[in-house]
Chain A
Amino acid sequence: MSDMPAAARPVRRRVITEEIAEEPPRATAYVCEAASCLSLQSHDITVRLGEVVADAGLGDVEIKRVGCLGLCAAGPLVEIAETGRLFEKVTPDAVGPVVAALADVKQTDVRAPQGPFFEKQLRVATENFGRVDPESLDDYVERGGFEALRRVLSDMTSTEVREEVTRSGLRGRGGAGFPTGLKWTTVAKAQGTQKYVICNADEGDPGAFMDRSVLESDPYRVLEGMTIAAFAVHATEGYIYCRAEYPLAVARLRSAIRQAQRAGYLGSGIMDTSFAFDVQIRLGAGAFVCGEETALIASIEGRRGTPRPRPPYPAVSGLFECPTLINNVETFASVPTILRKGPDWYAAIGVGKSKGTKVFALAGRVVNTGLVEVPMGMTLREIIFDIGGGIIDGRPFKAVQTGGPSGGCIPADHLDTPVTYESLVELGSFMGSGGMIVMDDTSCMVDVAKYFMDFCRDESCGKCTPCRVGTTQMWMLLDRITTGRATGGDLAQLEHLAAIVQRTSLCGLGQGAPNPVFSTLRYFRDEYLAHIEERRCPAGVCTIEQPAEVMA
């Protein structure tokens, strides 16, 4: 059997395990067990619900652990699958209403609209969120998992796969937005017998948790995306570089890899074809710079995690000097759906050169903090006010910070800008991995710039001079401004220094570090001037030393 050529071998349908083949339950409660809800003891809720349901004699009710339901602000969340009714801030001691709702579910129930937070979203990479048990392979398969991989392995050539990804218009979701199809083609065409696929899960932007949620809620999807990518670029080995600060994501990934290997979705002879691909996890030890692809590769190789100048790009010479494909978690997570529903379906979503959907992590002073996925081209206003529910306590919106430490702050005047890779750059910000920190009038923009500069100076690897020294010097100047010790000359020097660090730094960390300064200066220069000239902080955040009064 094993000597037969791949084409001659039938692709065997995997039999879904018996318990799922049984009669489906009359009612199902989804209990969110992603990190945010789990930290509020949502696992106890699952256990308690099971006990109460058993005591009440509801034998036809299923209590199911699922991944992120999205509305993290209102967690722990429990959803009734049949009616779409969402229970917020559930506690293990008060599961009564949930059980009552489960008992009431009828065959004729249809899912009711759940309000704009859910209805305005379009889920692709997160389509299984809150639906599948993240540790159940069968559950993933039941919801169409590995269908795309089956199609790829049985019906397509690697060229066709790359063409479909190119046609979908998918671009790198880690930040820079490099066309994914082009990257895959470059790696596929690079010289070399050994090639690697790396999944970058070293998410480090403050306020960003898209990748973590994907790995915690639907880990198989990432494995499927990586396997398809490996087939498309002729790679046989893959690595997932995940930060060690995500223990739940790592645990679920480990479980997913093990189950996928056992079921023949990873390893040699995947889905009974001759294609072989396996995945290993590498843990990052808390360095932000290891999200930079060359530093990440160095770290996997066991060397100090510092970036190196490019070219050569990893596509030509990457891990162990072999051609290497590096994509972000969300990019890989989008691939199975694209290949299942077709590239033209995906390309029809979005605007201009930004196709498809993007996952954003809403954080800060917004009512509905949580994880959302929206079509590209949706305006910031729709994301923050319709989906996000506006600002906490009805305070005025001041700015939204996108793109992490390399991004910028976008003020209220530009709320109606459609979110695309290009539009955000035009506004002096950056798509980044998808963190959105919403700020109201209680935020001082100079203080925000200082915060991000502090982050960058702390995370600078120390290799190149402008980033190592310049970020600290910019932070010192910002500190002078926020404590009321600055002069106009300091502001001029800050701008001068920011320009040089941006131009001359070795990697994206240093080149992007001045962006928060540039964007806050562009939109909130008056706040800088108030600190310097009037020695006051308009938002009342900074403690400004007032000069001692001169006795006349």
Chain B
Amino acid sequence: MSVYTLTIDGKDVAGSDGQTIMEVAEENGIDIPGLCHLEGIHDRGACRLCVVEIAGSPKLAAACVTQIAEGMEVTAHSDALLEYRRTITEMLFMERNHVCAVCVANNHCELQDTAEDMGLTHFDLPRISPKADIDASHPLFAIDHNRCILCLRCVRVCDEIEGAHTWDVMHRGLDTRVQTDMGIPWGESPTCTSCGKCVQVCPTGALFEKGRAVARGSKRRRPFLPWMKVVAEERGL
């Protein structure tokens, strides 16, 4: 397997063939934000928070899906990139109805953390806020589409790790929703194994365990997915 050397933000780093910029950056202590990225499931380059500049390329590249190459010069942090990421984070807040004060995930939310990292202090963009449904038909879990950012971690973990493929996506554009089994209520799903992986990987309070009140929805206390390194040691929690 070939090994490549490259620079990320001016720092000389090395990685092996097939690794992504995101992976190599993480190994070298360079933090690139990303909400759809989760180690252990395949990446889709959709949230666009991890966009980086590569010298010689006119277009931005998503670090989570771009493989490294020899001599690549990557800029992962710049004022322009921060501005892009801050605006994209703001877009996610304005898209649905994120009200942190009454959210189960308050203080345990990756969207909230990202906003903090980006230095987001207020919202400027037009608020879209469509009325979205809540599906609480499952005995243990519920989904509040008002808090969903369409990272599709639930879809991927259900398909790739649990192998159930209960979750999928329906409609398009702003109407895009995650759905269970062709749109039937979650509680009636014949394929759902109630494993809870989707709830564990959800970055926001969209998927949550029933019976937890505001700000009690910590998902990190039970890292029962050891093959996903999203857990404590990585984030120092």
Interface residue ranges, A against B (CB under 8 Å):
287, 289, 304, 308-309, 311, 457-466, 468-473, 476-477, 493, 496-497, 500, 503-506
Contact A466 B128 (CB under 8 A): no
Task: Return the chain A residue nearest B65 by Cβ.
Answer: A309
Contact A472 B45 (CB under 8 A): no
Which residues of chain A come closer than 8 Å to B46, judged between CB atoms? Answer: 463-465, 506
Interface 1/0 per residue, B13-53 and A, CB below 8 Å: 00000000000000000000000000000001111110100
Contacts A309-B62, A464-B48, A506-B46 given; indicate if A477 touches B126 (C-beta within 8 A): yes
Q: Which of B62, B67, B173 has the most CB of A within 10 A?
A: B173
A304 and B46 alpha carbons, distance in the complex (Å):
14
| Selected interface stretch from B91-99, B189-197, B203-211, B222-230 | B91-99
What is the distance, in angstroms, from B183's C-beta to the closest C-beta of chain A?
Answer: 14
A473 and B130 alpha carbons, distance in the complex (Å):
13
Q: Does B101 contact A (CB under 8 A)?
A: no
Contact B172 A461 (CB under 8 A): yes
A493 and B95 alpha carbons, distance in the complex (Å):
17
Contact A468 B173 (CB under 8 A): yes
Nearest first, the 4 closest Cβ-Cβ pairs linking A and B are A462-B176, A469-B91, A309-B45, A476-B126
Contact A469 B128 (CB under 8 A): yes
Which residues of chain B come closer than 8 Å to A470, judged between CB atoms? Answer: 91
Main SS of chain A's interface residues?
helix
Contact A500 B174 (CB under 8 A): no
Which residues of chain A come closer than 8 Å to B47, judged between CB atoms? Answer: 464-465
Contact B48 A506 (CB under 8 A): yes
Task: Return the chain A residue nearest B87 by Cβ.
Answer: A500
A468 and B128 alpha carbons, distance in the complex (Å):
11
Interface residue ranges, B against A (CB under 8 Å):
44-49, 51, 60-62, 65-67, 83-84, 87-88, 91-92, 94-95, 124-126, 128, 149-150, 169, 171-176
A309 and B176 alpha carbons, distance in the complex (Å):
19
Task: Return the chain B residue nearest A457 by Cβ.
Answer: B173
A458 and B173 alpha carbons, distance in the complex (Å):
6
Contact of B48 among A304, A462, A504 (CB under 8 A): A504
What is the distance, in angstroms, from A506's C-beta to the closest C-beta of chain B?
Answer: 6
Which residues of chain A come closer than 8 Å to B169, judged between CB atoms? Answer: 304, 462
Contact of B124 among A289, A464, A465, A493 (CB under 8 A): A493
What is the distance, in angstroms, from A191's C-beta to the closest C-beta of chain B?
Answer: 16
What is the distance, in angstroms, from A471's C-beta to the closest C-beta of chain B?
Answer: 8
Contact B88 A308 (CB under 8 A): no
Contact of B174 among A309, A311, A468 (CB under 8 A): A468
Known: A304-B169, A457-B173. 13 other contacts (CB 8 A): A458-B173, A461-B172, A462-B171, A462-B174, A464-B45, A465-B92, A466-B88, A468-B95, A468-B173, A468-B176, A469-B91, A500-B83, A503-B51
Which residues of chain A come closer than 8 Å to B87, judged between CB atoms? Answer: 496-497, 500
What is the distance, in angstroms, from B155's C-beta to the closest C-beta of chain A?
Answer: 10
A500 and B91 alpha carbons, distance in the complex (Å):
11
A506 and B125 alpha carbons, distance in the complex (Å):
21
Which residues of chain A come closer than 8 Å to B83, judged between CB atoms? Answer: 500
Q: Which of A311, A459, A464, A471 has the most CB of B within 10 A?
A: A464
Which residues of chain A come closer than 8 Å to B128, judged between CB atoms? Answer: 469, 472-473, 476
Contact A463 B174 (CB under 8 A): no
Task: Return the chain A residue nearest B49 by Cβ.
Answer: A465
A466 and B125 alpha carbons, distance in the complex (Å):
12
Contact B44 A308 (CB under 8 A): yes
What is the distance, in angstroms, from B119's C-beta to the closest C-beta of chain A?
Answer: 16
Task: Return the chain A residue nearest B51 by Cβ.
Answer: A504
Contact B60 A287 (CB under 8 A): no
Contact B95 A469 (CB under 8 A): yes
Contact B44 A463 (CB under 8 A): yes
A504 and B92 alpha carbons, distance in the complex (Å):
14
Which residues of chain B come closer than 8 Å to A458, judged between CB atoms? Answer: 173
Contacts A309-B65, A504-B60 given; indicate if A465 touches B174 (C-beta within 8 A): no
Contact A473 B45 (CB under 8 A): no
Contacts A476-B128, A493-B125 given; indicate if A503 touches B150 (C-beta within 8 A): no
Which residues of chain A come closer than 8 Å to B126, judged between CB atoms? Answer: 473, 476-477
Contact B125 A503 (CB under 8 A): no
Task: Return the chain A residue nearest B91 by Cβ.
Answer: A469
Contact B65 A505 (CB under 8 A): no
Which residues of chain A come closer than 8 Å to B62, judged between CB atoms? Answer: 309, 506
Which residues of chain B come closer than 8 Å to A309, judged between CB atoms? Answer: 45, 61-62, 65-66
Which residues of chain A come closer than 8 Å to B171, judged between CB atoms? Answer: 462
A235 and B21 alpha carbons, distance in the complex (Å):
34
A465 and B91 alpha carbons, distance in the complex (Å):
7
A304 and B179 alpha carbons, distance in the complex (Å):
14
Contacts A457-B174, A497-B125, A504-B60 given; indicate if A462 touches B51 (C-beta within 8 A): no
Contacts A469-B95, A504-B60 given; indicate if A462 touches B45 (C-beta within 8 A): no
Contact B88 A465 (CB under 8 A): yes
Which residues of chain A come closer than 8 Å to B45, judged between CB atoms? Answer: 308-309, 464, 506
What is the distance, in angstroms, from B117's C-beta to the closest C-beta of chain A?
Answer: 16
A476 and B128 alpha carbons, distance in the complex (Å):
9
Which residues of chain B come closer than 8 Å to A464, judged between CB atoms? Answer: 45-48
A311 and B65 alpha carbons, distance in the complex (Å):
9
A287 and B171 alpha carbons, distance in the complex (Å):
11
Contacts A465-B47, A493-B125, A503-B84 given; indicate if A460 touches B91 (C-beta within 8 A): no
Which residues of chain B come closer than 8 Å to A506, judged between CB atoms? Answer: 45-46, 48, 62
What is the distance, in angstroms, from A302's C-beta to the closest C-beta of chain B?
Answer: 13
